[in-house]
Amino acid sequence: MTHFSGLRSWTLLGSAAALGFVLVGQPAQAHGLAHGGLGYGFLHPITGVDHLLLLIGVGAAASYVSAQLLLWGLAGAVLGGLAGAMGFTMPFAEVLAALAISAVALLILNSHREGRSPGLAFGGGLVAAAVALHGALHGGEAPVDASAFGWWAGALAASVLVSGGSFLLMRRLPLVWTARLALLLAVLGGALALAPMGVLVR
């Protein structure tokens, strides 16, 4: 029974990995100026693979380390969004945003290896910084017309739904599942970070 359960776990993880690599091959990081109201805002964070993976990772990290990481993530989203809306940009933002996924995943993997959670200030700061990077991208893409409020409300609702759903799901599963998910996220984050470099050398 244990052997079958382990085989099923790895089969599901392998299937998820294959799906992830298919998604990575899509134009996931095509960030540009967004438009529309509530519906467009809701779809924005979940149709970009990099944003979606980070939201899943934040929920998983919160389930493993502390639920308070969700609040740190929210703070990072607000600060990053405001910075992006005010015109803040940084070089290699797409690469850094992808690496932020791997950073959150490594937080989980390190906690799993050490058998203990990191300090809340360290874990929370890392999650807040990772989300702030993505929030800044959102802020730079957000509409600036009358639809802006609805767009931001939709983006926030989708982000809370994905991270919160990931948190609740992973809390119901054995910790090893969270570690396996973190390993997958770490690999996918690295793959997304390398994707723009592949375009540059063609």
Q: Which two tokens stand for residue 83?
A: 């910075």
Number of neighbouring beta carbons within 10 Å of residue 78: 16
pLDDT at 88 over 50: yes
Round to whole Å and give the CA distance between 38 and 44: 10
Q: What is the pLDDT of residues 119-167, one digit of tens each?
A: 889 999 999 999 999 999 988 888 888 888 898 999 999 999 999 999 9
- Per DSSP, the chain holds a count of helices (H) and strands (E) of 8, 0
- pLDDT category of residue 6 using cuts at 50, 70 and 90: low
Percent of the chain past pLDDT 90, that is, above it, reads 55
Categorise residue 87: left if φ over 0, alpha if ψ from -120 to 50, beta otherwise. left
Q: What digits encode the pLDDT tens for the residues 34-80?
A: 567 888 889 988 888 999 999 999 999 999 999 999 999 999 999 99
Taking the C-alpha atoms of residue 171 and residue 192, their distance in angstroms, rounded to an integer, is 27
Single-letter amino acid code for the residue at 53 = L
Contact 112, 175 (CB under 8 A): yes
Predicted local distance difference test score (pLDDT) of residue 157: 94
Q: Report the pLDDT value the prediction gives residue 1, as an integer from 0 to 100.
A: 41
Cα–Cα distance, 17 to 124 (Å, whole number)? 27
C-alpha 28/C-alpha 22 separation (Å) is: 11
Provide the sign of the torsion angle of the four alpha carbons 76, 77, 83, 89, taken in this order.
positive
Q: Both tokens of residue 138?
A: 């959102």
- Identify the pLDDT of residue 194: 86
What are the distances in angstroms from CA 202 to CA 9, 51, 191? Answer: 38, 25, 17
Joined together, the tokens standing for residue 197 give: 């470099």
Measured CA to CA, the distance from residue 101 to residue 195 in angstroms comes to: 14
- Residue 14: what pLDDT? 53
One-letter amino acid at 189 equals G
Q: What is the mean pLDDT of residues 84-107?
A: 92
